[in-house]
């Protein structure tokens, strides 16, 4: 509906330009917003105020001219001028009902698809040296929700799991792998099932033994020079680590596959070229033997310039070098229109620096947009970064186990007579959904407090609340299974029907904003409001006990579209629905 009003206004602006009311070169950004107060209609625009200067007319006069030239539309029941010159649109209920009925027939629920773009989404991207921990949760699930919504809107999405599979830590890990094998005397018996302890043990060896450390450093050099033995060890290690990651993805219901992995090492061959190209453009400086780039706009608190380090004095490359190569690849080989990076906000400066450098070096097409979708920290209930009781990092697997156990307890308490197998099934969905939803429902840019009690509550904007709301809507159809709705028509008469209908019609607008801003909490908030609108409707408007068949069928259509929108919305968040819980 928003885009419909927008296009009516675009046509009006064109007409007013032809008539010379607005100068031909005026290019106003036409903004249409949902109103907060229904007495101001459903949608409003400040267009007249935006154009008042260019047109040399008072805003209210201009607003009237806009209204006079607005093309007729069955969707608009009434248009009014308000306040200093806002234009308020009242949506026609019959046209809305027709539109919703149309949406029911459409596999994408009547959502208008924008012009399709190619969008690279860099998300999850853990370091393979260690096991996935809670620090990777946010990137993985926020990124995945945005990916799903982008695909639903018809974009071509290229997932890039930019895993950290290269760098000095690998020397240490390979040296330790070698040592264990020698001790066990068996090539294949290496135990890497617990990567976290493996990493810790390797680090201890590295710190305690000079010989070990020397061997580790030597292995890095060998690895980098392409030595076959080292590369084989390295591939084996990464294989095991990636298998861990994909087990976690599977459990979390995350859509990343092995084909989406393009780690740091994939750019190795291009790194010398990155250095050459920067050099050829005169961008490189030397600092203590290292090759660096100084960019004017970056300096620290004391005004000293902050360089991007491209190559260390010992010849090693850095995180930034790889990111430059990755951007070039995403621009020229993948032909991305947008590249979205779901990475911790603490890396904000890194991204500002490499984005700006990639642009000045001409590594990316000027029209390609680079967007760091940064996120805050997941804190424990004490407000400090989430840790185990003993202060260690929390492994994702352990977190999901605990969520599952708590969900099982919760579902059992609600359904004391349910059999174990069913309880297990429901708990598996509720546990994962709660962890994901708690994260997705927060503005990603802020820190949030991870609380099992809060995320497993049936009250408020939580997964259990929404999953339960869905079972209630879907439950209506268990009792109405045999009612033929093929000839039914939707009528919006009661206020609560209108309010629900209005909410349903906003699904597409919400998705558009969610993918534009990379903010899944906008979709969560919408689904929560939709569930609330349904609840109010259901309380005020009997469905199966309606006054007559046509009213009952109309309400069933509303319920059906609500069920489908909730289910689809949750699916876009990567959350499965249940038929009962
Ligand atoms: N591996 C990095 C980390 O764990 C995240 C990589 C994000 N993506 C990127 N292109 N830099 O912090």
Q: What is the residue-wise DSSP string for 437-499?
A: HHHHTS-TTS-EE--HHHHT-SSSSSHHHHHHHHHHHHHHHHHSTT---TT------SHHHHH
Which own/partner pairs from 33-42 qualify as long-range (CB within 8 Å, at least 24 positions apart)? 34/2, 34/506, 34/509, 35/88, 40/82, 40/86, 40/88, 41/78, 41/79, 41/80, 41/88, 41/89, 41/90, 41/91, 42/1, 42/89, 42/90, 42/91, 42/502
pLDDT of residue 44: 95
Average pLDDT over residues 534-559: 96
290-299 and 76-82 beta bridge pairing: unpaired
Q: Is 287 exposed, middle or buried (0-12, 13-18, 19+ CB in 10 A)?
A: middle
> How far is the C-alpha of 579 from the C-alpha of 349, rounded, in Å?
46
- Ligand 1 centroid to Cα of residue 35, in Å, is 40
Average pLDDT on 462-467 reads 96
Residue 187: predicted pLDDT: 54
Q: Please check whether residue 12 is in contact with residue 72, taking contact to mean a CB–CB distance below 8 angstroms.
A: no
Residue 39: other Cβ atoms inside 10 A? 8
Task: Answer yes or no: is pLDDT of 89 > 80.
Answer: yes
pLDDT per position as a tens digit, 418-428: 999 999 999 99
Coil, helix or strand for 110?
coil
- Check whether 189 has a pLDDT greater than 60: no
Q: What domains can be seen in the chain, in order of their start residue? A: 2-91 (3.30.1360.70), 167-260 (no CATH), 396-572 (1.10.730.10)
Give, using CA atoms, the residue closest to atom 5 of ligand 1: 125
Instruction: Indicate if the pLDDT at residue 389 is higher than 80.
Output: no
Between CA 197 and CA 440 the distance in angstroms is 30
Residue 393 reports pLDDT greater than 90: no
Cα of 120 to ligand 1 centre, how many Å? Answer: 14
347 CA: nearest ligand 1 atom: 12
Residue nearest to atom 3 of ligand 1 (CA): 126
Residue nearest to atom 4 of ligand 1 (CA): 126
Ligand 1: atom nearest CA of 323 is: 10
Q: How much distance in Å is there from the Cα of 428 to the middle of ligand 1?
A: 29
Ligand 1 atom nearest the C-alpha of 135 is: 4
pLDDT tens sequence across 202-258: 999 999 999 999 999 989 888 888 899 899 989 988 998 999 899 999 999 999 999
Question: What's the confidence (pLDDT) of residue 88?
Answer: 95
pLDDT in the model for residue 168: 82
Mean pLDDT for the chain overall: 92
Counting from 1 in the atom list of ligand 1, the atom nearest the Cα of 326 is: 10
Q: What is the pLDDT of residues 477-486, one digit of tens each?
A: 998 888 999 8
Q: What is the pLDDT of residues 318-335, one digit of tens each?
A: 999 999 999 999 999 999
Confidence of residue 190 (pLDDT cuts 50, 70, 90): low
Nearest CA to ligand 1 atom 6: 125
Alpha-carbon span 577 to 569, nearest angstrom: 10
Give me ligand 1 centre to Cα 121, in Å. Answer: 12
Nearest CA to 507 out of 109, 31, 3 is that of 109
Output the pLDDT for position 395.
80
Least confident range from 159-163, 381-385, 500-504: namely 381-385
Confidence of residue 191 (pLDDT cuts 50, 70, 90): low
Q: For 428, phi and psi rounded to 5 degrees?
A: -60, -40
Neighbouring residues of 111: CB distance < 8 A, sequence distance ≥ 6: 152, 153, 507, 508, 511
Q: How far is the CA of 171 from the centre of ligand 1 (A)?
A: 20
Residue to mutate (ligand 1; options 347, 351, 353, 372; most atoms within 8 A of CB): 347
Out of 124, 125, 374, mutate this one to test ligand 1's pocket (max ligand atoms within 8 Å of CB): namely 125
In angstroms, what is the span from residue 135 Cα to ligand 1's centroid? 11
Mean of pLDDT values over 407-422:
94
Portion of the chain with pLDDT greater than 70, in percent: 98
Of the chain, the percentage scoring pLDDT greater than 90 comes to: 76
Nearest Cα neighbor of 415 from 404, 406, 426, 405 is: 426
Q: Which atom of ligand 1 is nearest to the CA of 163?
A: 1
For residue 293, how far is its CA from the centre of ligand 1 (angstroms)?
21
Q: What is the spatial distance between Cα 450 and Cα 378, in angstroms, rounded to a whole number? A: 6
Atom 8 of ligand 1, nearest CA residue: 162
DSSP code string of 24-65 = TT------EEE-SSGGG-SEEE-HHHHHHHHHTS-HHHHHHH
* Measured distance CA(122)–CA(161) in Å, rounded: 6
Q: Which residue has the higher pLDDT, 391 or 166?
A: 166
Q: Which helix (H) or strand (E) holds 254?
A: none
Across residues 53-79, what is the average pLDDT?
A: 92
User: What is the widest separation between alpha-carbon atoms in the chain?
Assistant: 89
Q: What is the pLDDT of residue 391?
A: 76
Q: What is the phi/psi pair of residue 506, to 5°?
A: -95, 0
pLDDT, residue 145, reads 98
Q: Which of 124, 132, 162 to mutate to test the pocket of ligand 1 (most atoms within 8 A of CB)?
A: 162
In the structure, what pLDDT confidence band is assigned to residue 192 with cuts at 50, 70 and 90? low
- For the CA of 319, the closest atom of ligand 1 is 11
**Mean pLDDT score, 297-319:** 90
Dist. CA 126 → ligand 1 center (Å): 7
Terminal C-alpha separation, the chain: 35
Measuring from each residue's beta carbon to the nearest atom of ligand 1, which residues come in under 6 Å?
122, 125-127, 162, 164, 323, 326, 341, 343
């Amino acid at each position: 509906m928003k885009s419909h009003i927008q296009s009516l206004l675009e046509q009006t602006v064109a007409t007013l330009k032809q008539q010379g009311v607005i100068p031909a070169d005026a290019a106003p950004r036409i903004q249409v917003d949902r109103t907060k107060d229904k007495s101001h209609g459903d949608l409003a625009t400040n267009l007249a105020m935006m154009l008042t200067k260019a047109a040399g007319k008072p805003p209210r006069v201009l607003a009237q001219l806009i209204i006079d030239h607005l093309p007729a539309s069955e969707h608009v029941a009434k248009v009014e001028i308000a306040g200093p010159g806002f234009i308020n649109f009242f949506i026609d209920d019959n046209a809305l009902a027709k539109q919703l009925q149309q949406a029911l027939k459409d596999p994408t629920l009547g959502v208008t698809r924008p012009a399709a773009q190619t969008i690279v989404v860099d998300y999850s991207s853990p370091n393979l040296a260690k096991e996935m921990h809670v620090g990777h949760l946010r990137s993985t699930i926020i990124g995945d929700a945005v990916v799903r919504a982008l695909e639903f809107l018809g974009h071509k999405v290229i997932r890039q799991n930019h895993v950290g599979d290269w760098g000095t830590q690998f020397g240490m890990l390979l040296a330790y792998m070698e040592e264990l094998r020698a001790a066990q005397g068996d090539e294949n018996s290496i135990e890497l099932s617990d990567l976290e302890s493996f990493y810790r043990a390797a680090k201890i060896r590295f710190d305690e033994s000079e010989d070990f450390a020397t061997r580790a450093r030597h292995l890095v050099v060998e690895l980098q020079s392409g030595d076959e033995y080292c590369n084989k060890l390295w591939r084996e290690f990464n294989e095991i680590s990636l298998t861990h990651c994909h087990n976690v993805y599977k459990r979390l219901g995350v859509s990343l596959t092995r084909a989406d992995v393009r780690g740091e090492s994939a750019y190795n061959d291009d790194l010398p070229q990155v250095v050459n190209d920067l050099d050829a453009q005169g961008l490189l400086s030397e600092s203590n033997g290292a090759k660096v780039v100084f960019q004017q706009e970056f300096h620290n608190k004391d005004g000293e310039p902050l360089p991007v380090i491209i190559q260390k004095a010992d010849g090693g490359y850095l995180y930034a070098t790889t990111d430059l190569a990755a951007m070039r690849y995403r621009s020229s080989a993948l032909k991305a229109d947008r590249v979205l990076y779901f990475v911790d906000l603490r890396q904000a400066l890194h991204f500002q620096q490499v984005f700006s450098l990639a642009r000045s070096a001409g590594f990316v097409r000027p029209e390609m947009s680079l967007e760091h979708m940064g996120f805050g920290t997941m804190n424990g209930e004490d407000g400090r970064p989430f840790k185990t009781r003993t202060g260690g990092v929390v492994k994702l697997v352990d977190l999901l186990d605990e969520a599952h156990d708590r969900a099982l307890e919760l579902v059992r308490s609600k359904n004391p007579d349910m059999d174990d197998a069913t309880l297990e099934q429901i708990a598996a969905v509720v546990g994962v959904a709660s962890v994901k939803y708690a994260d997705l429902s927060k503005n990603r840019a802020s820190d949030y407090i991870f609380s099992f009690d809060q995320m497993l509550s049936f009250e408020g904007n939580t997964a259990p609340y929404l999953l339960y709301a869905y079972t209630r809507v879907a439950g209506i159809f268990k009792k109405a299974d045999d009612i033929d709705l093929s000839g039914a028509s939707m009528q919006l008469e009661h206020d609560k029907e209108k309010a629900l209908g209005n909410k349903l019609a906003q699904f597409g607008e919400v998705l558009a904003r969610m993918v534009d801003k990379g903010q899944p909490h906008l979709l969560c908030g919408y689904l929560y409001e939709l569930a609330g609108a349904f609840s109010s409707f259901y309380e005020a408007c009997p469905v199966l006990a309606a006054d007559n068949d046509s009213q009952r069928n109309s309400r069933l259509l509303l319920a059906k579209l609500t069920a489908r929108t909730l289910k689809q919305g949750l699916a876009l968040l990567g959350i499965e629905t249940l038929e009962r819980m």
